[in-house]
Structure 1
Amino acid sequence: MKPTRRTNLPAKANAAAGVRRIAPLPPSFDGTARFTYDGSFDGLLCVLLACWESRRWPEAIQSEDAAQGGLFSETRFVPSDEARARRVWEGMLKYMPAEARTNLYKTFLSESPERELLIFRYTQMAIEAGGQDISENFGNDTVRAVADITKQMFREKHRMEAFVRFEKTHDGLFHATIEPDYDVLPLIAEHFTKRYADQRWLIFDRRRRYGLYYDLERTDIVSFDAEAGQQGSNSAVSAAVLDEREPLFQSLWQTYFDHVNIPERRNIKLHRRHMPKRYWKYLTEKQPRERHFRPIDNKQRPAQ
């Protein structure tokens, strides 16, 4: 498809004039089509290619299992094809930097209700710009929305890398359960593969019913059946298979956490800002103590 160049005002000029930039509809596009796909990122890339091939601007792009039909528009299902998806993914580099392309993938992982249309509009704008970087054109609603989602994904990724707590099973597997707000498992895979390359581990996303498994050679995506994930809490599921020394390790970690705390400098509001309470149920240091912590009384008392 031959890109059409358009003259766009710089972001600063738009802001000064008080104009909200909305991606215009190309004259050659039909804006009454609705597309569905299998819910995968490859499937979404195939939808983008189908839109460009048929010259149809999508009114809606939805996963097939959550699609809602339009009253005056037709719905077309686009099957996923790895070769066609790779063609779109590699072709994006002609119109945007690699970082901007990665941000579109993060937008998909955010599970935002408008993520598909955001990705289509951003890509279409990049094509119309003729290869010029549009990632800093924050006067445009689409660019600003993608940038905001990228920031949220970065924060959630950073929190998961910090808040994952592993438990060791009797067969030497280290496992952890998480429930992030966004689908960040693909983003944290490289971090944990490099950091824990000498041990087998499994990180399971309880909300999305899949996990990452590292077997000392490679990291794979694994899924679990629905019944296995509904058996109570993380501790209840793993108690029968934990290593016999795991309770001792957890107790030592809790003791360390309690002793490095300075009661006089306690700031609950700041603590919850850096460690939101919704993550506490999977943090070892936040579990009930079998023995209550008592600070060591090692201060010298003044002589009478």
Structure 2
Amino acid sequence: MSQLTPLHRPSSTAVGAVAPRPAAPELRNPPADYTYDGSFEGLLTVLFRVYDRRSAPNSIQPEDAVQGGLFAQAVAVATDDALATRTWEGLLRFMPEPARARLYHVFLSEDPERELLIFRYADMALRAGRDISENYADATVRRCQRLAQQLFREKHRMEAFVRFEKAQDGLFHATIEPDFDVLPLIASHFTKRYADQRWLIFDKRRHYGLYYDLTRTDVVTFEGSGATLRRGELSATVLDEREPLFKVLWQAYFDHVNIPERKNLKLHYRHIPRRYWKYLSEKQPRERRFEPINNKRGPNALGE
């Protein structure tokens, strides 16, 4: 387990003044292709090496997705946590903290061009010597802003639509498969909301999860005995025996508060898109047929 750190979860709320900065180094050497390990710290290390080598990137690709050219030899950049921290802190010398956090959000979006977008944004801010976050005339700024908005939309939906199942050992488990890598952004929400119970949220698409043990939230991966969790499934044999009843009660509640005469499917689909239905108990096939509650009394019941 590796504890979530401020570097993994940069703040997006505090606003800091941009400090004076030195002149931007000229990237006078021939452009190069860079590869890294796919982590955010690895990408920050690449940014440092770009200016250290004075060589702009033709491409920046994760090692496991390299598409090299016929003649070009990629520059493999090993992740250096000290250089990553230095680069991350150094970004505040030419952009405010919310703008810096946006670069991390672009990384979490997993956009195919995220690495070059982050480099271009940082390089433009470095050479401008001022905050460029509202320069929407620039395509890079607009693209970064749009990706950040899409990411936060997915974050809010995950916070609303995650449904937990209780295991026999008291662990509450939920499996998600979001479009973006939002686990680092939802960790704080679930840690505060479910501080009195152990829980695990597993990202089935990215094969890692968040685990809260009543004291802290950690990033976890599974090997060997965790094969079942790696597939994002919990066997019925490890679920709490009351879990099926909770599901039936939850479905019954939604059936009875539903008002058929006020059905608005267009509005419903907009607020709860179909791709999220797999997380919701109320959207699963009913194990018991719905029967309206007969709670209306006739005149004789009132002694009339």
Structure 1 residues 164-223: Cα deviation after superposition (integer angstroms, max 9, x where no partner): 000111111000000000110001000000110110000000111110000001101111
Q: Find the residue that maps to 2:235 and give its secondary structure.
A: helix
Q: 1:207 aligns with which of 186, 197, 205?
A: 205
Counterpart of 1:138? 136
Counterpart of 2:54? 55
Structure 1 residues 88-120: Cα deviation after superposition (integer angstroms, max 9, x where no partner): 001111111111111110110111000000000
Q: Alpha carbon RMSD of aligned pairs, Å?
A: 2.1
How far does residue 31 in structure 1 lie from its aligned partner after superposition?
A: 5.0
Q: 1:216 aligns with which of 214, 217, 221?
A: 214
How far does residue 59 in structure 1 lie from its aligned partner after superposition?
A: 0.4
Deviates most, 284-293 or 38-47: 284-293
Structure 1 residues 245-283: Cα deviation after superposition (integer angstroms, max 9, x where no partner): 111111111111111211111122221211111121221
Instruction: Measure, in 1, the Cα distance between the counterparts of 2:189 and 2:292.
Output: 36
Quick one: which amino acid aligns to residue 45 of structure 1? Answer: L
Instruction: Measure, in 2, the Cα distance between the counterparts of 1:30 and 1:159.
Output: 45
Listed as ranges, the matches of 1:79-228 within 5 Å are 79-130=78-129, 132-225=130-223, 228=227
Counterpart of 2:23? 3
How many matched pairs?
Answer: 278
Instruction: Measure, in 1, the Cα distance between the counterparts of 2:178 and 2:78.
Output: 29
Instruction: Measure, in 1, the Cα distance between the counterparts of 2:209 and 2:295.
Output: 46
Q: 2:258 aligns with which of 253, 258, 261?
A: 261
TM-score w.r.t. the length of structure 2 is: 0.86
Structure 1 residues 93-151: Cα deviation after superposition (integer angstroms, max 9, x where no partner): 11111111111101101110000000000000111111x11101001010000000000
Q: Find the residue that maps to 1:293 and give its secondary structure.
A: coil
Instruction: Measure, in 2, the Cα distance between the counterparts of 1:51 and 1:190.
Output: 33
How far does residue 49 in structure 1 lie from its aligned partner after superposition?
A: 0.3
- Quickly say closer, same or farther: Cα 1:170–1:159, change in 2 above 3 A: same
- Quickly say closer, same or farther: Cα 1:195–1:245, change in 2 above 3 A: same
How far does residue 72 in structure 1 lie from its aligned partner after superposition?
A: 4.8
- Quickly say closer, same or farther: Cα 1:48–1:231, change in 2 above 3 A: closer
Instruction: Measure, in 2, the Cα distance between the counterparts of 1:118 and 1:233.
Output: 32
Counterpart of 2:302? none
Q: Does 1:285 align with 2:265?
A: no
Instruction: Measure, in 2, the Cα distance between the counterparts of 1:181 and 1:297.
Output: 43
Q: Find the residue that maps to 1:148 and give its secondary structure.
A: helix
How far does residue 298 in structure 1 lie from its aligned partner after superposition?
A: 4.7
Gaps of 5+ in 2: 1-20, 300-304
- Quickly say closer, same or farther: Cα 1:164–1:28, change in 2 above 3 A: closer
